[in-house]
Structure 1
Amino acid sequence: MDATSPLPLRKQRDYRLLWGARTISITGSEVSKLAVPLTAVTLLTASPAEMGLLTAAASVPALLFGLQSGAIADRLTRHRPLMIACELVSCAAAATVPLAWVFGVLTVPWLIVVALVIGTAGVIFKSANFPYVAAVVDPSQRTEAMAGFHASYSVASVGGPGLAGLLVQTLTAPFAVLAEALSFLVSALLLRSIRTPEHNEPTRSTGMWHDIVEGLRTSLTHPTLRALLGAGVTINFFAMAYTAVYMLYMVNTLGIPKGVIGFLTALSGLGGLLGAWLTSRLSKRYGENRVLLVSVLFFPLEILAVGLLSGPLWTKLTLLALTGFMTGVIVVAFATCMGAITLRDTPTALRGRVNATMTFAVQGVLALGGLSGGLLAELLGLRPVILICAAGVALSTLWIWLSPLRPTRPNSVHPHHPDPTPVPDPLTHLIESKRHTVL
């Protein structure tokens, strides 16, 4: 190995701590996704309206504070203290659920407030975490690091629901939320143990609104970032429209047993693990741009297959298992390269705001996509909506393939040096649920 080459990530203590912190925290959140609604339904007899508010509370903070959190992150000299504080606040909020239950004061509004607090802390954490990765990981290893973080989500999606069911059964739903509180605490302790110093040059602020607008302008007018943003919004809108009708279609139209649906979801999570492994290796050989160009082509495959399915049950299950596993691979490959390219092509001073803008857009469109899918199903039926969603997701290919991410001439990118030098200040160019969502 070259003397100047960084150690493999698996041998880097601080990366292992950062990866471990995210994996533990995400797994705890997966437990909470089951435990909190069960608490509301079985113990607090929540109404449908209250359940709707509780569900919405998880995504509202991204819409209310997403852009501001990015501006705050870019003003910081050090990101890790803010990340630790966010985890400790989330720990305290989650811990109030079993305590309130013990003292007989737990209510649905209490759960909604807890969800809002944890959601807000999570939004701020993510805005600080994105630029912090650049401090811990060498530029040549960022794609591999991103793949590792996406593998965490796949691990959590496979093991989290099973762990949640076990904890709910043995401890009851309110006390199962303690697992989330403990996961946030362990995450904070692991982050506290990281030794890598930060050398971030904080951005000089000219006001919150101006900072936010600068992040928006960069995301919308930088050719590569605009393509990634457009593709992410397109994929998430149609993927969430698909998710809105997925369960009804699987059960009522295809006749898939309810218990098998969970197994198919777990297969997608396993595919994500393979996707993380493949992406880190393929990107070294071919570059993030080419991996992204190829992966986006396969995004509509599972949705199209689901929309065209017919025949005996075993045929349906076989095809669903294969396409679901493949989708897990593709989603992680696309999301990993999208994150790595965003980090690569965004000027250091704007990383927090650009990431916040991306997150705001691709997460904010989820609610609109879900609503549109449900309404279209009422008008057109389930299968037509599935096919429309497949066609809609396919539109993301245009964003990527008509962008600078596509090589303009043969061999313009050397296999061993896969990506061009990061674009400088983008102002000189006139200035990331369901498993299909990319961020």
Structure 2
Amino acid sequence: MMSVLFGIGMVTPLLLQVPVANLADRARHRVRIVALANVVAAFVMAAISVMWWSQRLTFAGLATALAAAAVCSVVRSSFSVPIMVSTVPRELLASANGTLNATRSAVDIAGKGLAAGLLTFLAAPAALLADALSFAVAALLIRRVPRADNQPSKKDDGTRLRSGPQGIRAIGRALIVRRDLWCLIGIATVNGLTESVFMLYCLRDLQMVPALVAALLGLGAVGGIAGGLIVGRLVQRYSSRRAVLLGAFMTMLAILPLPFVRSGPTAIVAVVNFELAGAFGGTIAVAAVFALIQGTVARDTLARSMAITSNLLQLAALVGLAIGGVVGSLSSVRITIALCALAVPVVILLSALQWIRPPLSTEP
């Protein structure tokens, strides 16, 4: 049953992100739609609590509520992209994306702590009511965003890219030749490859207790906060491409020590380094690439461009997970980790060589 719920949470965004983004690129009053999505999410969380207290909560009801919450999340993310780009100057997009990632990481830390506290003294539905309250507050706060998005996004020449499958295919073709995006896809694939065996590697090969592993994994949010706060300055001082390469380099430094450590203090240091440096570099790379895409694509393709980008990264991570599972079953977990450590330098080298070459005629 848990696998079904997990599948709903994963598959729903993959299936709906691009169609919802197609609507977001043409929509008016996006702020109102995001606020409405938050209100619906609040009702969904509250409904789960009410059904639990009234002893009417079934697996089908829980799955339906989870699917509804996932749809609300897709709507929020798709409609928020044009809102952010319309309110943030182009030169500050990297800083804005980094700040958003840092905020998510900080909220992740605070939210888990709050949930643990509520579960200690109250029943689980109380935590869901707190979640519902947070969505209601978000719906009120989003209304304060300037209404620069009341009109659908336009291209600079006043024309609009065709919506529907043809427009999505055209956007996909424009994105697939972007060298910065291919670097990020490579990092996402390596991260998926690592995640497929990382927990098993910590528990079996490094002989860590589960409680220690869980505590160390939480440090990734700290690295994400640091990366999000610094990426804007890196892009402004150096360049977006150098920031992306720095993110890839930090990912390499995060993974490189793992195959060589054994159980004990060195293993703890290696895992801490993996979480901090990996999240730090990943946040920098993602924020820099997202800012590049948001600053160069036509305004009437923003939501679809970011939705396709997000789907490509999720698919790359899933491919990495599948490859890691196959390699881990055919060889050993340590060999799989070593393969991950070797893959990142290849990604960096290929990205650097691609950027040295003259740009393709179709590349933005």
Q: TM-score scaled to structure 1, two decimals?
A: 0.75
Q: 1:267 to 1:202 in 2, by over 3 A?
A: closer
* Whole-angstrom CA distance in 2 between matches of 1:200 and 1:240: 39
1:263 corresponds in structure 2 to 215
Out of 222, 235, 251, the residue aligned to residue 283 of structure 1 is 235
2:336 corresponds in structure 1 to 385
Does the Cα contact within 8 Å between 1:147 and 1:276 map onto a contact in 2? Answer: yes
Structure 2's unaligned 5+ residue stretches are 155-159
Does the Cα contact within 8 Å between 2:180 and 2:241 map onto a contact in 1? Answer: no
Deviations along 1:217-273, one digit per CA (max 9) or x if unpaired, are 22124xxxx223323333223312321221111011101232222332232221222
Does the Cα contact within 8 Å between 1:239 and 1:369 map onto a contact in 2? Answer: yes
1:240 corresponds in structure 2 to 192
* Whole-angstrom CA distance in 1 between matches of 2:37 and 2:347: 34
Out of 224, 227, 241, the residue aligned to residue 179 of structure 2 is 227
Out of 311, 330, 336, the residue aligned to residue 281 of structure 2 is 330
* Whole-angstrom CA distance in 2 between matches of 1:135 and 1:316: 46
* Whole-angstrom CA distance in 1 between matches of 2:87 and 2:36: 19
* Whole-angstrom CA distance in 1 between matches of 2:36 and 2:315: 25
User: Is 2:99 the counterpart of 1:148?
Assistant: yes
Q: 1:80 to 1:402 in 2, by over 3 A?
A: farther
* Whole-angstrom CA distance in 1 between matches of 2:346 and 2:243: 18
2:34 corresponds in structure 1 to 83
Q: TM-score scaled to structure 2, two decimals?
A: 0.90
Out of 345, 366, 371, the residue aligned to residue 317 of structure 2 is 366
Does the Cα contact within 8 Å between 1:227 and 1:399 map onto a contact in 2? Answer: no
1:183 corresponds in structure 2 to 134
* Whole-angstrom CA distance in 1 between matches of 2:28 and 2:328: 49
Matched to 2:28, the amino acid is: T
* Whole-angstrom CA distance in 1 between matches of 2:227 and 2:139: 28
Matched to 1:164, the amino acid is: A
Structure 2 counterparts to residues 423-434 of structure 1, below 5 A: 429=362
Total equivalences in the alignment = 359
1:208 corresponds in structure 2 to 164
Does the Cα contact within 8 Å between 1:60 and 1:116 map onto a contact in 2? Answer: no
Deviation at 1:397, TM superposition (A): 1.9
Does the Cα contact within 8 Å between 2:180 and 2:244 map onto a contact in 1? Answer: no
Q: 1:171 to 1:368 in 2, by over 3 A?
A: farther
* Whole-angstrom CA distance in 1 between matches of 2:350 and 2:168: 24
User: Is 2:17 the counterpart of 1:66?
Assistant: yes
* Whole-angstrom CA distance in 1 between matches of 2:314 and 2:95: 24
Does the Cα contact within 8 Å between 1:299 and 1:394 map onto a contact in 2? Answer: no
* Whole-angstrom CA distance in 1 between matches of 2:176 and 2:92: 27
Does the Cα contact within 8 Å between 2:190 and 2:320 map onto a contact in 1? Answer: yes
Deviation at 1:343, TM superposition (A): 0.9
Does the Cα contact within 8 Å between 2:181 and 2:289 map onto a contact in 1? Answer: no
User: Is 2:143 the counterpart of 1:192?
Assistant: yes
Does the Cα contact within 8 Å between 1:75 and 1:205 map onto a contact in 2? Answer: no
Q: 1:199 to 1:140 in 2, by over 3 A?
A: farther
Deviations along 1:1-33, one digit per CA (max 9) or x if unpaired, are xxxxxxxxxxxxxxxxxxxxxxxxxxxxxxxxx
Query: Equivalent pairs: percent with the same residue?
Result: 23
Deviations along 1:309-353, one digit per CA (max 9) or x if unpaired, are 12x511221233234322222122111111111111212121111
Does the Cα contact within 8 Å between 2:184 and 2:285 map onto a contact in 1? Answer: no
* Whole-angstrom CA distance in 2 between matches of 1:266 and 1:56: 23
Q: 1:322 to 1:209 in 2, by over 3 A?
A: closer
* Whole-angstrom CA distance in 2 between matches of 1:233 and 1:124: 24
* Whole-angstrom CA distance in 2 between matches of 1:134 and 1:375: 41
Out of 200, 218, 221, the residue aligned to residue 174 of structure 2 is 218
Structure 1's unaligned 5+ residue stretches are 1-49, 409-422, 432-439
* Whole-angstrom CA distance in 1 between matches of 2:141 and 2:125: 26
Pairwise CA RMSD of aligned residues?
2.4
Please say which of residues 354-363 and 384-393 is displaced more in the overlay: 384-393
* Whole-angstrom CA distance in 2 between matches of 1:369 and 1:158: 26
Structure 2 counterparts to residues 287-298 of structure 1, below 5 A: 287-298=239-250
* Whole-angstrom CA distance in 2 between matches of 1:239 and 1:292: 15
Residue 299 of structure 1 aligns to a residue whose secondary structure is helix
Matched to 1:229, the amino acid is: L
Structure 2 counterparts to residues 129-144 of structure 1, below 5 A: 129-144=80-95
* Whole-angstrom CA distance in 1 between matches of 2:180 and 2:79: 20
Deviation at 1:206, TM superposition (A): 4.4
Structure 2 counterparts to residues 111-130 of structure 1, below 5 A: 111-130=62-81
* Whole-angstrom CA distance in 2 between matches of 1:395 and 1:110: 47
Residue 195 of structure 1 aligns to a residue whose secondary structure is coil
* Whole-angstrom CA distance in 1 between matches of 2:75 and 2:180: 22
Matched to 2:122, the amino acid is: L
2:157 corresponds in structure 1 to none
Deviation at 1:207, TM superposition (A): 4.9
Deviation at 1:104, TM superposition (A): 1.3
Matched to 1:231, the amino acid is: C
* Whole-angstrom CA distance in 1 between matches of 2:162 and 2:246: 41
Does the Cα contact within 8 Å between 1:230 and 1:399 map onto a contact in 2? Answer: no
* Whole-angstrom CA distance in 1 between matches of 2:61 and 2:323: 30
Matched to 2:277, the amino acid is: M
1:100 corresponds in structure 2 to 51
